Every structure is written in structure tokens, then in C-alpha cells.
Structure 1
Amino acid sequence: MHHRSRLPEKPRGVGAALSLALALALSASPALAAPPSPATEPDPVPGLVAGEGTAAPQLVTGLSEPAPGRPAEAARAHLAAHPDRYRIDTAQLTELAVEHAAEGRDTVRFQQYHGGVPVLGGQYLVRLVGEGADRTVESVGGKYFTGLTAPTTPAVSDEALRGLALDSVADRGARGGATAEDGGRIVLPGGGGRLVQRFVVRATDPATGAPLVREVFVDAVRGVVALARDTRAPYPTGGATAPGTPAAAAAGAAPAADVGVPVIGTAPDILGRTVPVNVARRPDGSHQLVDLTRGAGIFTYDAAGEDAGAFRGPMTGRSPVTSPGPDFPASTGTGGATDAHLNAAAAYDFFRDRLGRNGLDGKGGPIVSVANTSEGGKPSLNAFWDGVKMVYGNGDATYRPFSVAMDVVGHELTHAVVQHTADLDGSAQPGAMNEALADYFGNAIEVTTRGIPMTDPRAALMNESLCRTGTPEECARRRLDDRRTTVDDYIGAWSDVDNSGVHLNATIFGGALWDIRRALDPLVADRLVYRAITEYLTPLDEFVDGRNAVLAAGRSLGLSRTQLRTVAAAFDAHGIKAGWQSRIGMDSRGLLRSAGIEAPPAVAGGHWVASGRDDPKSVDESLYTGSVTAPGTRTRLSPPDGRIHLSPDTDGRTAVWQAIGFGVTEVLARPLSGGPVRSVFNSPDYGINGARISDGQIAVLVTSWADGRNRLLVFRDGADPVDIPVAEGHRLSDLAFKDGLLGWIESWNAEGVTFSAPTVYSLAAGRITAQYPESFPAGGRPGQLTSAQFAGGRLLWSRWATPPDLRVAIRSGAVDGSGVTDVVPAESPYAPTAGEFTASDRVVTYQRGGAKPSGGWTNAALPKLYQVPVTGGAPVRLSCNRGVQAYPAADRGTRVLWLDYSPGRIDLVVRDRPAGTC
């Protein structure tokens, strides 16, 4: 078996580490070189905004330095002429695009490379004004990552990398039949950087039958998954173009054959009204829903209810909606094709006439729409831009086809414009800004085209025309005048929830932009926001970067001091200013800021152990320890060996953990007070399932790569390990160790039945003292019992409901085998929704929430922590913090540590007692 670096017990920190968009790997907003001006004064962009985690500045404005020659050469020469100012190696820059604008403005966008490999999000921009010999540099900025030292040659085979990418969907039962498309090598920035191989993994979710698409980045040196996130099927570009670089994907999306001549036809819209449409008459006399009067054409297809996953990439071999004559049939309207065609034309006209943009790619490329798609054969209530085209769901009895709403179409087309310019990343703050910009222009296109004044209360509504019944206010999915702010409303979500909150937090930034449009002349506002997208923003920019970009765009547009005050005040009103994360009210104490990796911590005797980073921008995970009574202090435990250090356990005196990378996983240990790091277990023939420590003894559960058999080893004082017997054909998981007792979940098959049994083994007696087997039908998963641990002198575990769903019971069994009780029944309205929990001798703390409500994600629906007496009782909220609360670790009494996502990063925090109700 070649995937030796894959963990049989894979902590979420391996599969999803760095997965808050790089957002958490690159989470802190740049610090301003000078404090912002008061809101009552002009808020000009400072002359220099320092970069975060890099010596290269984020933004330099107020320049007027000669730059004669062609734009790209002049821009490169300018950067090379000022090495002390920019700290950039121009040999590592490749021209990505030149954005030509009116008034002799050119923005040269460079992509950063490291040893010939593109750096994700590494883009640097030079803005030029004037022509020829009179050309000058106006401003410079972006993200260029200095200090990259990562190797650029993989140390892991292509076959193993692909296998690891496919394994990223195994926990959803989707490994079988999955495919992994290679997207090329990329360097993840942060610290010295990290060489990864990008894959787009496509599978079918066995629970829903819907397509499952994940973008997976596999560490090509250490052989672990560095980043994995659900995506809307970006079309791979053959490896030459990395995420964070605009893809020239629209080329070839339209039919290459002769599309005929433009004529005016008719087609019914969604309401059955016959409307004029631009169509193309083919040489054979037939007509297609193709508008040849705009750029390279607007091509509209009808999926006729086919699954959206069937329309991947360019539409080769498919034809746009076709009619024998110029008058199209009723089906063109009922599926939403007519409205998709007309709305795409309206959006094209808006960008051309109002902003001077030549199509989505700025080069007059084709616009392709596929209307009337389903989701796995079921109604689809969604729309998305997939990298080459718009895809619109067919709706249901409540919602019309999504192509019917002009703001929806404008929203998706704006995503295409952003892809070809700023190319903002699709998760966390960059993703929320991406959604905010799409909301802004989607609404701007609709109100401008339909002549709706900005004072109309419905002007700020998104998607309000989709509902077949009800008022627009009831139908709207979002509204840009909801007055949400960072401090009061930002919701920190992990990667499994809305791509780290891209829609949850969109209206914070989008609301500021909409306030600007209401306060300024709408045309001025549109040009302002458009200039920020095309000339200032880069893929990994966050909210404060976006504020600075809009203000810089305003100064370059010549906005007055009063107008700049208005723009600054709009961002202030939405809490978008430097340091906003520190002003979020939290009821917990911070122990480790920007832990940066989604991996469980450990605590005992008032001492915590957790994975983190020396630099929040680094991608190298280390292990740290500290005291729960001394927030902000920490000591590094793990050696600086380039490996990932996680899955710790501690008995309050010594820590034990796993070091992952370079083909094997090793178990290490070190006293919390310092001293040498020692290797407990290291074998290329075994993978590690878990390592636990109790009173100085260390138990390690491993799996043989050769035959899949478990071994359970107990180490003490350097003596040979005790090998705990494991029955033939039995598998162990969820190791627990306390006070001389070992606990685990044991699983086996017998006569077509699957058995799982929480089990207690006494080291002193040398035998099993308690086992509580349950049987499951053939094909039932052994993982229906999980998370064994000792508390209050008993063994506790989780039991998933049958069939598996989001209802979980926490059960308790006597260590002598005398009986089982429920701590939290699955039928309880406060039942857990995740199998992981933690327990002290007094209380059990568990996670509840995490299921997406039918109306969309809310803060209340995100995973929160609850606490209940170990003997059972009424659960209460542990903390009222906003955002995801995950991976709790119990100390003494009611004190619990956990990873909290509230400020848009991962912080290790603690509470001494539950908050109660919130």
C-alpha cells in the first residue's frame, strides 16, 4: 500500500488545515504605517501600507515617477529601480495581464513565481498614467511574499499525491468512483512557503446523490493534504494557471462553428410574454439563442433539467437553444433560457456602456449561460459561475428558475469579471468580498437597467424576484441595507460552512459599498468600485485591504475631500477598519491567537498543548504548551524539522503527539517543562491511529500497512513496549487511556453482521474488564460508535443514530461491565450533532449545530458547545461567542478549552464555567 503518510485516524487538522482560505494561513489584515485619520477628517490612503508577513509593501500611493516605454516593461523597470522600497525580485514576476482603461491608464498585474512555480495569491500591481515618454507610475501594491524557501521539486510520487487527494472525500464515503484532475504545482505562501499539487476531486455524495467537488492541495514534499475545500467546480486550466491567477477559461466555451448572421426573433419569457430577442440564423435556416451583436456573442443553452455536473468546461458538442424559425417555443421561457439570454445582454451593456469594459474578460470574449439545470436530478435552487460559464438552477414550486432574476445574472457575471481581474479567493474574507462585489454589481445592474431609484426600499434586495408567491421582502435572500458590521455581526466559520462564511459575511462589505452608492452619484460609485476591482485588489485581500483599495481608487478618480470622507464613513459604519478583530466581544479568554490549524488541543492540570505557528502567516505547524492562567504565553515543544506536529495528548507533565511528513508518521514525547524530545514510535511499516499518555505511560495504536492489522503498544520508562493482544479480524479505534485503564472502540464482522463495542482493558489485571457490543446490519459502518474516553470512573462514547444522521447520543458504561446509561440521549432536543466530545470528572462538553438550515446559514446554526453533568442532566451553552466553536478539551471541573473562529481566525480560548443561556 503506497499511501503510508495517510493517517488511519486522520485529524481534521490534516485534511482541513490551512483551509480557511489560506484565509487563516494569511489571516491578519495589514497594519497601516500610520494610524487612520478620525472619521470626521479625510481618510486618505496612507503613502505606504505595510505588508503582513512580508517585506514588500501592500500599497504605495502618491507616486509620480517617470516610467517611459511599454506598460509591462516600464512597470518592471520601476520595481527594479527601487529595490529598497519594494523588496521584490523582478526575476520572479511574470506579466499576467495589462488592464487598459480610459484616460491613458494602464494597470500591469504580475504573478509571483518561486523557482518557476506560481505562488498562490502572489500578485503585484503597478498603476501607470499617461502615454509613451510622459508615462508615470501612480501607485504600486499587492501581495508579494518575501522569504520563500520551499523546495520546488516534489518528494512524493504523482500516484501517491493523487491518492491522497482522492482520500479527501473518503470520510464522506465518496472515495469509490472519484476522479482527481491535476491542476499543477503551486506554492502556498506564508513563512518559507509550501509546495503543493492542486487537484479538483469529483465524486458523488452517497448520502444525497449530488455531485461533490473539492479543490484539494496536497503537500508534495511531506505527503499530506494541506488544504481541501468544497468548490463549485472550477474548470482546471491544465496546470499552467494557479488559483489566484485569472484564467483565460472563457476561450473556446462557445461553439467554434459558423454561428450564422444576427437577426431579431421572439421568445416567451418566464411569465409567458413574447419578447424580442437577438438570435442567430444558421446557414441551414434554423435559429439559435445566440446574440451576435455583443462582443464574441452571448450563447444560451437549455439543460432541460439535466444535472449541472454534466456541463463541465467548454460546451463542446452541445448546441445553444435552437428553433426552426426565429420565433422560439414556450419551453424557452419556462426553463429560464429567454431570461438568461436577455439578462446577460443587460449585464454586458452595463459593463460596456457604464464602465467601458469589453465583455467579461475585457477582450470581448463570449458569454455562455446554461439555464434549467438540476442538482442530482432534483430541483436546483442555485446559480454559479464555474470558471467558463454561468449555470442556473431550474427552481421548484416555490422559486422560479434562477436565471429569471437580473440581479442573480448580474451577480454571476460579476464573478466572471472578478476572476479576470482581482480574482479574489473563494473563501473567508476574500470570498466574502468576492460575494459582496457580485452583490453590489448584480443589484446595480438591475436598478440601473430597470430605472429603480436608490431611494426605493426594494433597491437593496437581492434575488427578490425569484419567488412565485410572497412579497419581494419575504423572498429576498440578502439585502444590502441590513447594516451589519464586523464587530457586531462577523461570523467566523470553518471551511465546511459556506466556504468559511463567504455569504454569511458578504453584506458587511457589500453594505458599505451600497451605502457609498446611495451617498454618491451612482455612476461615480460604480466607477469607483470597478476601479478598485480592476486596478487595486489581489486574490488574498481582506476587508481592510478592500477599504484601502476603494479609497485609493477614489483618490485616483479625483474624488473630493468630502466624497472621500463619505467613503471612509461608510466603511467605518460597517466596522471595516484596521484592528476590528480585536474589538469583537467574546466571553472567553484567549490562550493562543491565530492558532491557524484546525486540530484538537489537549489540556491537563492547568497546562494546555496545541498546534500553532511561530508566525500566523507560516504554513509550518508546530506544537506549543502554556498555562491556562497565563494567556498569551507559550513554549514551543516540537523540533523545527519542517513536519506537521499535531494530535497532542498530555497528563499535565508530559506531552505526546504525532509528527507527520516525509512519508511516515512518528510519535514524539517531551516534558512540558522542557528537556529532550524523544521518539516513542517510528516505523515505515505502520500508520498511527492514536497516541495517549497517563501517569507517564504512553499507549500507541498503530495499523500495519501490509495487512491492516492493529497493534496496541504501551511504553514506560524506556522499557520494551507491552503489546496488548488484538483478536484476529478485529479493528480498534478511538483510543483512551487513564489511571491504568485503556479504552477503545472494537469492531468486527461475524456472519454478515457488523459489531462495535466500547471496551475497557485493565493493565493491572492484564485483561478486558468491560465490553458493550452492539450489532449493525451488514454494510453498517463501524464508525457508528466513536470517541471513547474515561471520565468520572466510567468509559464514555458517542453513538450515532441509525441510519447515521446528525443525531448522536453520549453513553456511559461502567468499567467493570455492569451497565450502560445515557448522558445525553439521541432523542434529546439538545442532542449532539458531532461524535467528538470531551469530559472531566464533573461534566461532558459536546458540539451541537452544524446542519445548514433550509433558509441558509445563520450564526445560531453554526456548531456551538454545550455542557452537561457527567451523570446526565440539562445541557447549557458553554459560550455565547459568535462563530464556530470546535474541538473542546476538558481540564478540571467545568473548565474547557476550544478552538474559536469568531474573529475570522482560529484562536485557542478557555472558559472556567458555562455561560448558561445566550
Structure 2
Amino acid sequence: MHHRSRTPRLLGAAVAVVLGLGVGVPPALAGPAGDPAADTDPVPGLVAGTDTTAPQLVTGVNEPAPGDAAEAARAHLAAHRERYRVDPAQLVVSGVERSADGRRTVRFEQRYGGLPVFGAAYLVHLAGEGKAQHVESVGGKYFTGLTAPTVQALPDEVLRGLALASVEDGPARTGVTAEDGGPVVLPGGTGRLARHYTVRGTDRTVWEGRAREIYVDATTGAVALAHTVRARAAGAPAVAAAATPAAGLEPAVGTAPDVQGRPTRVNIARLPDGTYQLIDLTRPTALTVYDAGGRDEYEVGGPLPDGVRPVSSPTPDFPASLAAIGAAEAQRNAGAVYDFFRDRLGRDGIDGVGGPVNAVVNVTSGGESLANAYWGSGRMTYGSGNAKYYPFAAALDVSGHEMTHGVVENTAKLVMRDQSGALDEALADYFGNAVEATTLGIPMTDPRAALLGESLCRTGTPQDCAARRLDTGRSTVNDYIGFPVHFSEDASHDNSAIMSGALWDIRRTLDPLLADRLVYRALAEYLTPLDTFVDARNAVLAAGRSLGLTRAQLRTVTAAFDAHGIKEGWERRIGMDSRTLVRSLTVGTQNRPDVVNGRWVMANGEAGFLGILTGTVGSSAEPVRLSPVGDKRSHSAPATDGTVAAWVSQGETTPGRPDWSVLVRPLDGGATRTVHSTTGQMLSGVRVAGGTVAFEAMDFSTGRTLPWLSVNGAPAAPIALPDGHHGQALSLRGDLLAWTERWQEGERTVYAPTVYSLSAGKVVAQYVAGGAGNTVETLAVRTLLTEKRLLWLETPSDRSRGTSIRSGALDGSGVSDLLTGSTTQPRQIDELTASEKAVTFAYAFTWPKGRRVANADLPKLWQLPIEGGTPQRFSCNRGGQYMPAADRGTRVLWADATPGRTDLVMRESAAVTC
């Protein structure tokens, strides 16, 4: 909950789920009958869908639908296909949620060709009983226009290898595994068939009990989507079967110490042998606290291993040693959260069907006490804290927060990335604090009510200890953390305060009980996995209508959302000092922009596949597509010399045999020429200059990557390298080609920036990263040719100093440093570009320790003269800045995530100071 580690950087592009309203929306339905002011009704009558013709929300329906709830919901959708644009044959019932007042919400999940569509859920809300049953509202995310293939082109073993290869950081690759989750269709345009893998590694400093959900495009091999989750044991189900207590137990009462060693009353169970366990049998379902016995979180991430049993005692008075693991609080807080959801909101347990509630205490991480708590595998997991923190079970709001994730998991199933991930965290924050305020009788006027985790610290004030607070007044326009939609890191915890602040303001303004029921109904009956902040606003308002809120109360709700900037079009209100060339990119390392003399190229998602676009910096004309339209291939890794563009085309010309090609086409139009085609190699890293095209080819049979060349239209051929050597990260300028050569010397990986003369046909310069005899492995990435020098980055693998930008003579005669890596602030650079005049770079992002992420922590562009000097801020845009491409002079294009989406933008010169 509190601490995060550096997550492994991934290769690949993102799923093309664009935020905003779609087109082709069905006619709006009328507002509620008899409403004299429907045009000013705070509750939307119809909300258009995104990237689909199916509406996101339709309220005020009031049409009869008698019979079984699921059958009635399906029949209603079938009878009104023109209204909803939904094919009932593609819907599978995933559950029926029954609210305390008898309403039913039927949840459907979309299938395409029998395969699940990622994040697609459509809901029908029914009220009344028997013949009086009727549909009140309909909505969710159902994606129309899907035509993606349903049979993968690449073999399973190739896709798995690509998922593993997407982990780029060296330490993250330690012990990395990929568990196959099967095929899935990713939405966006015509969709993309992908295979889902759960990737995890054993280096705890990187993974810290987490895993990466990676979706590899089954046609192109690109990483299409990735996000971080709490790791479960390999092979364990996503939600493990909840353990149930043994038979023959009798309820009893005993004592157990709290975290401060004071005896407290606990409900326990007496076993037939006369011993006792920390199992509460006083509620309709059992609440059980298990003792992990100091086992690692990886070991208890799935079904509980043998030896993990409920906390036990030979007498009703449990031993004093339990104070160190928070066992008594784990039981007490589980009961408080259960009671809150049952008595206040009418929910039958965390899973909604009366399943047992389980918690595991005394969990470690990497041999040390775990200073964290989380929900996973259908139960709570608590660490025992450390010198700073009490056992994490001690805080009721933390328990409420994490157990609310269990409620989300069983209702909306929000995806933990971007706005949906922030929404998940916001709901957990809200209900965690609501549980504590309700249970402990803390009034909403008390500043402590808005603090989360304030009781965990052994020392310090509650304000200093709190992990987050819900009364900071953060808003979208002022405070949204601008991560790109493709990136492996995520700001869900940090952006959550925007939404949780709005929800908390509603609770402070309305009656708290009404607010809790309102937010819960929105969660349980309206939200779907990919919902955004604005979707959540509409869901809360629709839930308010169904609960009978007055017009004044609904306007109070809208005022809270407005105050936090949660309203349609908020992304457009964020100021930027750059010029936007293309909006809403689907970005990743395979579609990095390139630019020469004002002519740029970039791959972007169109109709579910990447296409190659070109434009001119000084022109207001729309970008021109260079790659063919409608050929069902993906086009990526573009490069340009200002006259032509070259790129990789990936697809399946022969069914069942994926192929790759390198294509070349003039920027001003004309015939497209094929430089190289293959079915046995993966092609990438294209570079072009005049009549020369260079690219990287990874041979599937050997796993070896070599640079290839085609000169003046001649067939492409590999450049011979010594056995065991690889050549990657190409740079081409005139007669010279550069790459990073890589080979093994014992256990050490050697990286050597290399310059090759095309006319001489030989290597003319090679520099061993870190210098000869250096025993510390140094990573050299991204070689870059300039007019007079070769540039590259060097980072010691032990991170003892920051990244240096090194400059080598083109004949191998000497090395100098343009920027020396700091030992006091060892920051890693992972972006580098240069012109004849300037070098531009960006530091890699790492999670800050002990505080929330701020926009200032995200990668920003810096520029310095080509001869070296003091770096200056290139742009004052507040969000993340990625994939810079230098043009002539000091001009740079890059992908900027400031506005809550990722745009291609540019500046002519550095802003210097911000």
C-alpha cells in the first residue's frame, strides 16, 4: 500500500483505447417522463460510447421486461438492437447483482469469435418484480466493429518468448517467467488478437511482490498492453478458492493482544481437541485469520501452502507474541468491514455471495518483514511492519481500503492502469475511510476522517504518517499525473486523490449514509473495467437517480465533481508550451518518431493496427498515411532521411505463417518498395539514408540479432559479426553505420558501441563500454551518429552512478564525456537524440520513496550543446515526455503525456528554466 519499487521497463505499443466520445451514436432517448426541466437534468439521458457505436449509458428507459432477470435483460437488448447496437449473441452473463431494494443488475461480458474482449462489459438494470419488472437503464462498454482474427499467427512459444523479452531492465530479467493466460481480443478500431501472459521475476528490488500482465499481439509480436498487478503464486488461479474452516468448531470468546500488547476481546472457535483458533463464527460467514509463519509473500500468493493454518492457541487466551503480527486487529477489522458492507449497504460479504472472509498475517518479503498490506487471491494479506510502522492490520482504514479492492474485483473489475486504476484506488480510499469514520464514530468535520493510514506510524503525527488524504482539493486540470498510456509504470495511486476527493466532498455535503449508498451503487451496478473519471461521474449520477436523490442533491453531486475538474473535456484545459502535431497517439518503442529537415514519420494506431504517418513540422495539413490502408498488417519502427520513409511491416500473407518485411516509400507518395521479406526473422530498428537501408533481424532459430544492409536497391544481407556477438540499436549517417555490439565474457555481458564503414566494408571504431578491464558491467544503449562523433549512453549495472553521455571519435581515436553520471544522484537516462547542434535526453522515471508521485518526477527533456555543457529544460510541460527525435538545430519532436493522453508535439528551442 505504501511503498513501490522500480518496475521493469517494457517494449511495445499500447492497446488503442482512446479516451473521449465516439462517433455514430444512436439517437438519444427522451428524458424522464413528466420532467419539466429535462434539458437541465443533472443525470445524463444518453452518453455516447468511446470507439464504438454502442452507447456508454442510457437512463430513463422504463420499459417492461418480465421473467428471469438474465433472460429478460438479453431479450431487451435483442428487441432494441438499433438503439443499443449490441449483438446479444456476443454476450455472456458474468453475474447478477441484487441490491438491498430489490433491483437487479445483469452483467454481460463481450465475446468475439468465442474469445473474451478485454474490459468489455455491458449492464442492464432492472427494477420491480414479476410482471412489473422493467428496465431502468442500460450501459457499459461494448465494442462494435471488431474484425480482428481469432486464430493467432505466431506460435505460443514465440509469443511467450516475446513476453519474456519485453522485460528490458537487467535485474528484472532475473528468474523471469511467463504464465500463459490464453488469447484475448483487445478493443480499439477493429481490435487486436493478443495472448495474455503474467510475467514475474525473482529480483525483489524490482518486482517487490508484483507481476506484469502482458498482452502480446498474436499477429505482429508487439507488446500491445501491459500493467502491474499484485503477484500471485505461479500457476495459482487469479482468485484462489477461499479456505473454509474445519467442521466441528464451536464459537467461543477469548483474548488476544493488540499491536501495543494490550489484551482485547476476540471471537474464537473451539476445536474438538480442545484447542482454539482465531476464527469468528458469530456472523453468517466465518472470519478467519491465518498465520503465514514468516513465509514470503510469493509463497502465500495463491492457494495457501501446507503449514499455513489459522492462528492457534491451547487456551482461549492467545499468547502475547501475537502483538507483533497484528492478528487481533486483522480479525477485528475484517468484522468491521464485513458489517459495514452488510448492514449499511446490503452486500452479502466481500464476494457478494456470502463467502468466507480470510486474512493472512505474519508475511515477509525477501527475508524481511513486509511493511505493506494488500488484497489478493480472495483474501487480505498483512505484513508485520517495521521500526517505523505497526503491523499493517492495525489500521482499520487500511483494512477497509484493501478489502474494498475485493469488492471491486467482484463487481466492476476495474483494470489497474490509467484512469480506471486510479478509480479503483479512489473507491478503496473512500470506503476505507468511510468504514473507519462510521465504525469509530469520527465526524466528517474531524480532519482525521480524511486521512488514510494515519494510525500506522509508531511515532509522528497522524498527518505525517498518513499515506494519503482525501481533502487536498486536487483536480484534473491542476494535478493529473501525465503518464503515457503505453508505459509500464502507472500513477493510479497518485491520480486517485482527484476522484476520491470528489467522492469525499459528496460524503461531507450529503448525509454520509446516503453518500455511501450512492457510491456503492455506482460501483456495484454501473462501473465497468475500463471506465474513466467522467464515466464514473455519470455512473454516480445515474445511481443517484435510481436511489431517488432530489434534483438539489444531484446538483450537489455534480458540484463536487466540477470542483475537482471531473467533467467532459477536462484534458483540453491543461496548458502546454509545445505545439501539437498529432493527438491521441498509441505509442511505444516500436513507433518512435523520426524527423529530418522538418519532415517527420511515426507509427500510430489506426483501425486496430499501426500505420505509418508523415507530416511536415510547419504545415497545418493533416498527416498523410504512407502504409497501405486495409491490408490487415501492422506497420512500425519507421525512419526517414527527409525524402523517403522506411519501416517494418508485420502480418500473415500465408495463413498460419507470420512474416515481416522492410518497406520503403517516398514521403511525397509513389510506389512502395520491399527491401527484405522473411518468415524466420523478426525485423526492427530500421534506419534509412539515401539509397541505404539498415535494419536489425533476430533469427528465431538461433535467437541472434544482426544488422542487415541493402544498398541502392541490392538484396539485403547481414553484416558478419564474430560468433556469439549481437548487433542492435542502429544509427545510420552517410557512409557510416553504428550499432551496439553485445557478447558474453564469462558471466559478464560486454557492450561495445561500434562504427562500420559501408564503403570500406569494415569496422572503423569500437569502444568497450566502461573501458577495458572494467569489472562492473556497464550497459551501453542507443548508439547515435552525429556529423563528427558517435554518442552513446553508459550506465553501470550496479547503479553506483548515473548515466553518462559519452562521445567517441568516428575513427576510434578517443572518448570524451558530454555529461558525466553523478554518484550522488545516480539517475538513469533512457532517451537520447541529437542534431548537429544539440543533444537532447530524458532521465528514466523511478518511483519516489515515501511519497506520492508528482508530475515533477516524470521524465522531462533536457538539452545541452553538442560539445557538452550545462543541460537546460527543453519544455515546461508538466507531464511525462518520451521518445524525443531531434531535427536540425535545436528543434525536437516528442511524445507528451501531459493532457491525460499522449500527443506528438514539438518545440524549436529550449525553455531553459521552468
Separation (CA, whole Å) in 1 of partners of 2:76 and 2:772: 70
1:866-885 equivalences in 2 (<5 Å) = 866-885=862-881
SS at 1:438's partner residue? helix
Query: Over aligned residues, Cα RMSD in angstroms?
Result: 2.9
Shift of 1:784: 1.2
Q: Deviation digits for residues 409-436 of structure 1, max 9, x if unmatched?
A: 0001111111111111111000100000
Q: CA deviation at 1:88?
A: 1.0
Which aligned pairs between 1:597-676 and structure 2 lie closer than 5 A? 597-599=587-589, 600-614=592-606, 618-630=607-619, 633-639=622-628, 640-662=630-652, 663-676=658-671
User: 27-36 vs 731-740, which deviates more?
Assistant: 27-36
Closer/same/farther in 2, CA of residues 371 and 130 from structure 1, 3 Å limit: same
| Aligned amino acid, residue 818 of structure 1 | S
Deviates more, 1:811-820 or 1:762-771: 762-771
Are 1:584 and 2:574 counterparts? yes
What is the TM-score normalised by the length of structure 1?
0.92
Counterparts of 1:891 and 1:660 in 2: how far apart (Å)? Answer: 28
Give matches, 1:750-899, under 5 Å: 755-774=750-769, 784-801=779-796, 803-804=798-799, 807-827=802-822, 833-856=828-851, 857-899=853-895
- Is 1:485 the counterpart of 2:483? The answer is no
Specify the code of the residue in structure 1 equivalent to 2:288.
F
Q: Amino acid of the residue matched to residue 601 of structure 2?
A: V
Larger CA deviation: 681-690 vs 541-550: 681-690
Correspondence for 1:565 among 541, 555, 567: 555
Measured in 2, the distance between the counterparts of 1:885 and 1:731 equals 30
Deviations 1:35-77, CA, capped at 9 Å, x for gaps? 99xx999652221111111111111111211111121111111
Residue in 2 that maps onto 1:270: 259
The answer on whether the counterparts of 2:51 and 2:189 sit within 8 Å (CA) in structure 1 is yes
Distance across 2 between alignment mates of 1:312 and 1:722: 49
Q: Relative to structure 2, which stretch is displaced further, 775-784 or 544-553?
A: 775-784
Structure 2 distance, partners of 1:464, 1:77, is 50
Distance 1:644 1:901, change over 3 A: same
Change (3 A) 1:492 1:238: same
Helix, strand or coil for the counterpart of 1:550?
helix
Give the aligned partner of residue 693 of structure 1: 688
Higher relative contact order (Cα pairs below 8 Å, separated by 6+ residues): 1
Q: Does 1:56 align with 2:50?
A: no
Amino acid at match of 1:816: D
Bigger Cα displacement from structure 2, 105-114 vs 815-824: 815-824
The alpha-carbon distance between structure 1 residues 210 and 829, as it changes in their structure 2 partners (threshold 3 A), is closer
Structure 1: how far apart are the matches of 2:295 and 2:236?
Answer: 26
Aligned to 1:349: 339
Choose which of 731, 735, 756 in structure 2 pairs with 1:736: 731
Q: In structure 2, what is the equivalent of residue 122 of structure 1?
A: 120
The 10-residue stretch of structure 1 (492-501 or 503-512) with the greater mean CA deviation from structure 2: 492-501
CA distance in 1, matches of 2:646, 2:485: 27
1:28 alignment partner in structure 2: 20
Deviation at 1:635, TM superposition (A): 0.9
Relative to 1, partners in 2 of residues 1:466 and 1:632: Cα closer, same or farther, differing over 3 Å?
Answer: farther
The range that moved more, 719-728 or 776-785, is 776-785
In the alignment, the residues of structure 2 paired with residue 863 and residue 559 of structure 1 have an alpha-carbon distance, to the nearest angstrom, of 44
Cα offset, 1:406, TM superposition: 0.6
Distance 2:745 2:519 in 1: 65
Runs of at least 5 residues in structure 1 that lack an aligned partner in the other structure: 1-11, 240-246
How many angstroms does 1:462 deviate by?
1.0
Alignment of structure 1 residues 536-551 onto 2, 5 Å: 536-551=526-541
1:383–1:714 Cα change, 3 Å? same
The equivalent of 2:517 in structure 1 is: 527
In 2, are the aligned partners of 1:689 and 1:733 still within 8 Å (CA)? Answer: no
Q: Deviations over 1:157-205 (max 9, x none)?
A: 3333333333344644555644333323322111122222222223212
Matched, 1:904 2:900: yes
Q: Following the alignment from structure 2 to structure 1, what is the Cα–Cα distance between the partners of residues 734 and 126?
A: 70
SS in 2 for 1:68: coil
* 2:673 counterpart residue number: 678
Instruction: Give, as a single letter, the amino acid of the residue that structure 2 aligns with 1:814.
Output: A
Alignment CA distance shift 1:762-1:237 (3 Å): closer
Question: Following TM superposition, by how much is the alpha carbon of 1:365 offset from its aligned partner in structure 2, in angstroms?
Answer: 0.6
Instruction: Provide Cα deviations, 1:485-527, integer angstroms capped at 9, x if missing partner.
Output: 1011101224797852101100101100000000011011001
- Counterpart of 1:75 in structure 2 is 73
Structure 1 pair 236/177, CA: closer, same or farther in 2 (3 Å)?
closer
Could you give the per-residue CA deviations for residues 126-152 of structure 1, whole angstroms, max 9, x where no partner exists? Answer: 111110001111111111111111222
Q: For residues 220 and 778 of structure 1, do their structure 2 counterparts lie closer, same or farther at Cα, with a shift above 3 Å needed?
A: farther
Which piece of structure 1 moves more, 122-131 or 99-108?
Answer: 99-108
Secondary structure at the aligned position of 1:308 is classed as coil
Q: Distance in 1 between matches of 2:361 and 2:109?
A: 34
Moved more, 529-538 or 806-815: 806-815
Q: Deviations over 1:754-801 (max 9, x none)?
A: 654322233344443333334679997976122111224211111113
Residue 214 of structure 2 aligns with an amino acid whose one-letter code is: V
- Show the counterpart of 1:3: none
Retained in 2: the 8 A contact 1:404–1:466? yes
Cα pair distance change 1:162/1:559, threshold 3 Å: same
- AA aligned opposite 1:524: L
1:429 correspondence with 2:425: no
- Aligned partner of 2:165 in structure 1 is 167
User: Conserved in 2, the CA contact under 8 Å of 1:645 and 1:659?
Assistant: yes
Give the 3-state SS of the residue equivalent to 2:609 in structure 1: coil
CA distance in 2, matches of 1:751, 1:431: 43
Conservation of the 8 A alpha-carbon contact between 1:44 and 1:552: no
Query: Is contact 2:95-2:107 (8 Å) kept?
Result: yes
Equivalent residue, structure 2, for 1:321 = 311
The separation in 2 between residues aligned to 1:844 and 1:282, in whole angstroms, is 72
| Equivalences for residues 388-403 of structure 1 within 5 A | 388-403=378-393
Between stretches 261-270 and 542-551, larger displacement belongs to 261-270
**Letter matched to residue 637 of structure 2:** S
Deviation at 1:238, TM superposition (A): 8.6
- What is the distance in 2 between the residues matched to 1:161 and 1:555? 47
Give secondary structure in 2 for the equivalent of 1:215: strand
1:363 partnered with 2:353: yes
Out of 746-755 and 840-849, give the one that drifted further. 746-755
- Per-residue CA distance 1:812-847 (angstroms, 9 max, x = gap): 112233322111111287876223300011111111
Give the 3-state SS of the residue equivalent to 2:369 in structure 1.
coil
Q: Within 1, Cα distance between the matches of 2:747 and 2:115?
A: 51
Match of 1:196 in 2: 194
If the length of structure 2 is used for normalisation, what is the TM-score?
A: 0.92
In structure 2, do the counterparts of structure 1 residues 210 and 507 end up closer, same or farther at CA, with 3 Å as the change threshold? closer
Specify the alignment match of 1:302 in structure 2: 291
**Deviation at 1:398?**
0.8
The whole-number CA distance in structure 2 between the counterparts of 1:779 and 1:356 is 66
Whole-angstrom CA distance in 2 between matches of 1:254 and 1:366: 7
Distance 2:233 2:543 in 1: 31
1:291-346 Cα shifts (integer Å, max 9, x gaps): 12223211112223321111022335331111111111122221112111111110
Deviations 1:710-742 (A, max 9, x none): 654432332345764434444322211112222
Is structure 2 residue 589 aligned with structure 1 residue 593? no
Q: Shift of the alpha carbon at 1:697?
A: 1.8
Partner amino acid for 1:374?
Answer: T
Q: Does the C-alpha gap of structure 1 residues 842 and 831 become closer, same or farther in structure 2, counting only changes over 3 Å?
A: farther
Deviation string 1:65-124 (CA, Å, 9 cap, x unpaired) is 111112111111111111111111111111111111133311111111112212111111
Q: Quick one: which amino acid aligns to residue 834 of structure 1?
A: I
Q: Which moved more, 1:785-794 or 1:775-784?
A: 775-784
Change (3 A) 1:754 1:528: closer
How far apart are the structure 1 equivalents of 2:524 and 2:338? 16
Q: CA deviation at 1:444?
A: 0.3
